[in-house]
Amino acid sequence: MQHIDESGGYGKNTVKKGSVYIRTIGCQMNVRDSEVIKGLLSAQGYELVDDAKEADVVLFNTCSVREHAEHRVWSIVGVLSRKKRRPLIGIIGCMAQNYKDEIFKKAPAVDMVVGPSEIDNIALYLEEALKKQGSGILGVAERKRREEIYHTGFYEKKDHAYVVISEGCDNYCSYCVVPYVRGRLRHRPQEEIVREVEEAVSSGIPHVTLLGQNVNSYNSGLGEQGMDFVSLLERVSGVKGLKSLSFVTSHPKDVSRRLFEAMRDIPVIKRSLHMPAQSGSDRVLTMMNRGYSVKKYLELVDLYRSIVYNGEVSSDFIVGFPTEDEDDFRKTCELAEKVKFDSAFIFKYSVRPGTKAAEFPDDVPQAVKEQRHFQLLELQKKISKLKKH
């Protein structure tokens, strides 16, 4: 592994460098990471382009949560590497952390691998990789990112900003790779979050979404005076000029009556709750290590709806989790019917090596996963349509 000097890379460098194309595959956290990377690289003089064909450098910022995203990257890297004049290829983000230097063996055309904790040094890694093309630059240390990187002012959309409030996750849902690739839960200090929102709003961006794997476990960590998520919401919502404030994702075990009351009482907060249920079977929820029962989940939705008038609620579901049988799946459909979610994302379970669930047999045949996926999607489509009318 090449050693990178951590001292530099933040100042503006207006000398024109190569052109960079970034392909983002994954969740909002990846989208925000790509914005941060674009902000850092353009400050260093790189030109950002929208077409991989025009680029000297192609970076894949890829999610590792499901296997599907990784397959897409392997196949595009294969195509790029067969080109006569190929660009420098980098894999960054969760996928980089998941595979580390194995990537160089699996895809020798890859020049650079940089994990999510190291993206604040991206310009330095890239410089190194450009100098030593072909020697494999690796940056996968696990540490807290520098605060400065969130203040480049680079947002993909003109009217909306994602603002990270915490990184990593400590929940260890048995199927999930996030705690392993993004590390333990770390919170950004509240003043930094408020400052970033103020900067975004004063630059003309009226809509903000606060981002974290589990926003409701936010705590600025100052003991008794520590600011929890609801207090943070109250504070951020007071930023002058802010028109709407959203947040994702809410874990059912950490939402509270106070959160719902804040959503009711503070007009700028959007009445929309993304609270993944994952399954409607208690047996499966226990195996998933989710920390709640179906009964508890339903009670939370009832409480939310009784407090937040016209509040929307959405979910994620995983079908085909190890040992999920017809009865478990029927219960998931029942939950979807009972709650009548405004929308839901439905995923087929994929084994993530290193997770607890990878020790269970992946015993639901692919064809059954696909059939359940289709069935639940159709059900949800019907429900979403009815709700809109």
Give the residue with the Cβ less far from ligand 5AD, 29 or 239. 29
Residue with tokens 């333990």: 184
* Close Cβ partners of 170 (under 8 Å, ≥ 6 residues apart): 179, 184, 185, 217
Give the residue with the Cβ less far from ligand 5AD, 166 or 350. 350
Q: Which of 104, 162, 175, 329 binds ligand 5AD (CB under 6 A)?
A: 175
C-beta of 348: minimal distance to ligand 5AD in Å?
6
Residue 87 found at the interface with ligand SF4 (CB under 6 A): no
Q: Own/partner pairs for 303-311, CB < 8 Å, 24+ apart?
A: 303/257, 303/260, 304/255, 304/260, 304/273, 307/257, 307/260, 307/261, 307/263, 307/264, 308/260, 308/263, 308/264, 308/271, 308/273, 309/264, 309/271, 310/271, 311/260, 311/263, 311/271, 311/272, 311/273
Number of residues that bind ligand SF4 (CB under 6 A): 10
Residue with tokens 């900067």: 199
Helix, strand or coil, per DSSP, at residue 198: helix
Check if the beta carbon of residue 121 is closer than 8 Å to that of residue 4: yes
Give the residue with the Cβ less far from ligand 5AD, 264 or 356. 356
Helix axes 294-307, 326-339, angle to 10 degrees: 10
- 10 Å CB burial of residue 354 (0-12, 13-18, 19+) is exposed
Segment interacting with ligand 5AD, rule: CB under 6 A, options 39-47, 157-165, 329-337, 345-353? 345-353
Q: Which of 173, 262, 275, 364 binds ligand SF4 (CB under 6 A)?
A: 173
Q: Which two tokens stand for residue 234?
A: 């109250």
Segment interacting with ligand 5AD, rule: CB under 6 A, options 259-267, 298-306, 334-342, 347-355? 347-355
Binding site partner of 127, from ligand 5AD, ligand SF4, none, Cβ cut-off 5-8 A by kind = none
Binding site partner of 349, from ligand SF4, ligand 5AD, none, Cβ cut-off 5-8 A by kind = ligand 5AD
Query: How far is the C-alpha of 161 from the C-alpha of 155, rounded, in Å?
Result: 6
Query: How far is the C-alpha of 371 from the C-alpha of 320, rounded, in Å?
Result: 10
Residue 287 found at the interface with ligand 5AD (CB under 6 A): no
Binding site partner of 347, from ligand SF4, ligand 5AD, none, Cβ cut-off 5-8 A by kind = ligand 5AD
- 10 Å CB burial of residue 56 (0-12, 13-18, 19+) is middle
Binding site partner of 171, from ligand 5AD, ligand SF4, none, Cβ cut-off 5-8 A by kind = ligand SF4
Check if the beta carbon of residue 286 is closer than 8 Å to that of residue 339: no
Binding site partner of 352, from ligand 5AD, ligand SF4, none, Cβ cut-off 5-8 A by kind = ligand 5AD
Q: Please give the residue whose beta carbon sits closest to ligand 5AD in the complex.
A: 316
C-beta of 355: minimal distance to ligand SF4 in Å?
9
Residue 214 found at the interface with ligand SF4 (CB under 6 A): yes
Give the residue with the Cβ less far from ligand 5AD, 175 or 297. 175
Residue 347 found at the interface with ligand 5AD (CB under 6 A): yes
Residue 178 found at the interface with ligand SF4 (CB under 6 A): yes
C-beta of 11: minimal distance to ligand SF4 in Å?
34
Binding site partner of 179, from ligand SF4, ligand 5AD, none, Cβ cut-off 5-8 A by kind = ligand SF4
Going from the C-alpha of 370 to that of each of 151, 330, 374, the distances in angstroms are 42, 15, 6
User: Which residues form the interface with ligand SF4 (CB under 6 A)?
Assistant: 169, 171-173, 176, 178-179, 213-214, 251
